[in-house]
Amino acid sequence: MQDHQLAEAGLWEGIVQYPPEFIEKYIAKGYWIGQTISEFFNECAQKYAKNTAVISAEEHLSYAELKRQVDQFSAYLEQKGYQAGDSLVIQLPNIIEFFIAYFASIGIGMRPVMSLPAHRHAEVSHFIAQTEAKLYICAERHSGFDYRTLARECRQRCPSLQQVIVVGEPEEFDPWPDVSAFPEQHAGAPNITARHVAFFQLSGGSTGTPKLIPRTHDDYLYSVRASAEICQLDETSKMLMALPAAHNFSLSSAGSLGLFFAGGTLVLAKEPSPNTCFALIEKHRISHAALVPALAAKWAETVQQGAANIFAGLKALQVGGARLPDALARQLIEEYGCRLQQVFGMAEGLVNYTRYDDSAESIISTQGSRISADDEIKIVDDEDRELAAGEVGHLLTRGPYTIRGYFKADEHNRKAFTRDGFYRTGDLVRMTEDGNIIVEGRSKDQINRGGEKIATEEVEQALNLHPQVMQSALVAMPDRMLGEKSCAFIQWRREEKDPSLSRLSMQLRQHVRTFGLATFKIPDHIEFIEDMPYTALGKIDKKELRQRLIQASN
Ligand code: OOB
């Protein structure tokens, strides 16, 4: 093979491609328009050059200024020797550098992995190893955590890693470069087409460590443009970004990319507390914001306690990532005059929105309908047989922006996708007569802790390595604010000098911490039991364990 053929083959390694007939269809229908994310960004920057693109603390950047910094950062990356197909991990809080790193790396055909600030070295080193990432970009610290310690850990474990850039005090790593002397011209990524993978999103997962989700330019931008239209964003829109910028919800539903497409202004919040966000909403006259239900509840509580009713002033409040309780939805609409939009999406693709002109009852009690008429949706029983209309079953989906496979995960893909390419979402849903989806539950072994997803197996594996643990089972327990928290049931080995159970609890939490898992994965609660309950098939009966927790809380 010639060099360029080898490079081209490398770009498809570990990627499950869309079948040719679907590619043809998505192009013919105008979903895939052959534009890369860089071309998209440049077009936005040109069209809205003078508009303010991003506001972060006191810093305001116009689209033209943002583009200049992006181009200069691309030139810097090129000078460092990075090439199309090289990966990097970006783990930044909501600061402007996130967008510069994202667009600039994609601009030269690099493929960023969108790590969340909550990830720790177990996750980050896994992302670096899986993608053979050469570069890791993080902030000095955020929410009290020092990312340089994480960088040290990764540098030791990951031979592919060549460079660490730290925004803030870098210590032994490289500082965020001053690129003002760099040219705006750079070679870009001439070999990258819109059909190539642009970057990696992360799955909440249900087994082991988070899987990487390869999103192409074409598929992602289709969801972005369509979402911007559904959400009616325009040049006057001012969007508050309170959730982590890297999450699929924040990035594309309609998120920052949808907003840039429309020429609006993004206001970055360092953290999502009412204290920080209410002030930003008032100061910048925010029109759009997106929250997970746990935060919507917290914001509502703050208004109830006498803070100004910020909900009434928004053109729309999106809530998604976890099931929004009907009662809270009703309160937001009826008490606070909020224009609510429910969003039920997944980083793998499919996103559903309630539409602004849906009936209030639909907006309160459903999670909306798909973006595209070509989002194929099946609701099936345990044997993959399609169910009658209105019945609750497993949601399967296939469509113009839903992946056909996780990155380098052949074995897992055989389970997570049907033979004909439908993604098994692991969600239990039913469809109303007018085509809205109601999320009734979950079949995947995952806990949704206020929108943050925990694959139970990953935590159980860590727990089971403790010498005093015979078996463990992590299950969801109801929580008033977060919706769900995690509870670890532990069947333990008695020792001669048994520590007290409260002491053992502490030790177990500490033990899980040493694995370097994201903090939200540390069990919230630990229960010790003599024997695990089993199903007829001999598996630990988690349903029974969940039931015990519900009974205990009543
Ligand atoms: C979003 O993406 P992920 O990848 O973090 O999580 C996807 C999963 C879904 O499969 C479902 O189990 C749950 O999160 N979920 C919801 C929900 N939205 C997501 N469950 C009930 N009601 C909802 N409204 O969470 C995500 C991606 C794009 C847009 C919005 C959310």
Phi-psi region of 18 (alpha: psi -120 to 50; beta: other; left: phi over 0): beta
Q: Which residues contact 159 (CB under 8 A, 6 or more apart)?
A: none
Q: Where does 158-235 show beta strands of DSSP type E?
A: 163-167, 174-175, 197-202, 212-216
Q: Which residues contact 266 (CB under 8 A, 6 or more apart)?
A: 53, 54, 55, 239, 241, 256, 259, 260
Q: Which of 554, 541, 511, 546 is nearest to 527 (CA)?
A: 546
User: Would you call 105 helix, strand, or coil by DSSP?
Assistant: helix
As a dihedral over the C-alpha atoms of residue 253, residue 122, residue 208, residue 10, rounded to 10 degrees, the angle is 70
Tens of pLDDT along 24-58?
999 999 999 999 999 999 999 999 999 999 999 99
Cα–Cα distances in angstroms (integers) from residue 390 to residues 234, 264, 291, 354, in the given order? 36, 39, 28, 18
Structure tokens that stand for 115 in this block: 């790590």
As a dihedral over the C-alpha atoms of residue 230, residue 236, residue 240, residue 244, rounded to 10 degrees, the angle is 60
- Ligand 1 atom closest to residue 453's alpha carbon, by position in its atom list: 5
Which pLDDT belongs to residue 208? 73
Instruction: Please give the DSSP secondary-structure letter assigned to residue 403.
Output: -
36 lines ligand 1 (CB under 6 A): no
Rounded to whole angstroms, the Cα distance separating 471 from 520 reads 21
Which uninterrupted H or E stretch holds 402? none
pLDDT tier at 8 (50, 70, 90 boundaries)? confident
pTM of structure: 0.96
> 343 C-alpha to center of ligand 1: Å?
8
- Ligand 1 atom closest to residue 426's alpha carbon, by position in its atom list: 10
Which pLDDT belongs to residue 80? 98
Rounded to whole angstroms, the Cα distance separating 314 from 446 reads 33
Instruction: Please give the DSSP secondary-structure letter assigned to residue 200.
Output: E
> 121 C-alpha to center of ligand 1: Å?
24
Q: Which of 447, 493, 491, 450 is nearest to 473 (CA)?
A: 491
pLDDT tier at 205 (50, 70, 90 boundaries)? confident
Structure tokens that stand for 372 in this block: 């595209």
321 lines ligand 1 (CB under 6 A): yes
Residue with tokens 């559903």: 352
Is-cis flag, bond preceding 254, omega within 30? yes
332 lines ligand 1 (CB under 6 A): no
Q: Which residues contact 451 (CB under 8 A, 6 or more apart)?
A: 243, 292, 293, 294, 320, 321, 322
Q: Which residues contact 422 (CB under 8 A, 6 or more apart)?
A: 376, 378, 396, 397, 398
Q: Which of 437, 18, 493 is nearest to 219 (CA)?
A: 18
Amino acid present at 234: D
116 lines ligand 1 (CB under 6 A): no
Half-sphere exposure of 271 (CA within 13 A, CB side): 9
pLDDT tier at 222 (50, 70, 90 boundaries)? very high
Instruction: Please give the DSSP secondary-structure letter assigned to residue 59.
Output: E
Rounded to whole angstroms, the Cα distance separating 466 from 464 reads 5
Which pLDDT belongs to residue 497? 73
Q: Which residues contact 553 (CB under 8 A, 6 or more apart)?
A: 477, 478
- Ligand 1 atom closest to residue 452's alpha carbon, by position in its atom list: 5
Phi-psi region of 216 (alpha: psi -120 to 50; beta: other; left: phi over 0): beta
pLDDT tier at 1 (50, 70, 90 boundaries)? low
Tens of pLDDT along 151-200?
999 999 999 999 999 999 999 999 999 999 999 999 999 899 999 999 99
439 lines ligand 1 (CB under 6 A): yes
pLDDT tier at 142 (50, 70, 90 boundaries)? very high
Task: Give bridge partners of residue 313 from the DSSP assignment.
Answer: none
Neighbours of 188 (CB within 10 A): 18
Cα–Cα distances in angstroms (integers) from residue 261 to residues 237, 329, 460, in the given order? 11, 29, 42
- pLDDT, averaged across the chain: 96
Tens of pLDDT along 285-340?
999 999 999 999 999 999 999 999 999 999 999 999 999 999 999 999 999 999 99
Tens of pLDDT along 225-250?
999 999 999 999 999 999 999 999 99
341 lines ligand 1 (CB under 6 A): no
> 344 C-alpha to center of ligand 1: Å?
5
Amino acid present at 500: S
Average pLDDT score over residue span 133-152: 97
* 317 backbone dihedrals φ, ψ, rounded to 5°: -115, 120
- Of the candidate ranges 1-5, 12-16, 118-122, 478-482, the one whose mean pLDDT is the lowest: 1-5
444 lines ligand 1 (CB under 6 A): no
Which pLDDT belongs to residue 501? 86
Q: Which of 388, 394, 439 is nearest to 417 (CA)?
A: 394
- Site to probe by mutation for ligand 1, drawn from 220, 250, 346 as the one with most ligand atoms within 8 Å of Cβ, is 346
Average pLDDT score over residue span 120-126: 96
> 190 C-alpha to center of ligand 1: Å?
35
Rounded to whole angstroms, the Cα distance separating 128 from 300 reads 39
User: Would you call 408 helix, strand, or coil by DSSP?
Assistant: coil
Neighbours of 252 (CB within 10 A): 27
CB 32 within 8 A of CB 194: yes
Share of the chain above pLDDT 90, in %: 93
Which pLDDT belongs to residue 64? 98
Instruction: Please give the DSSP secondary-structure letter assigned to residue 500.
Output: P
Q: How far is CA 229 from the centre of its chain?
A: 21
Which pLDDT belongs to residue 210? 87
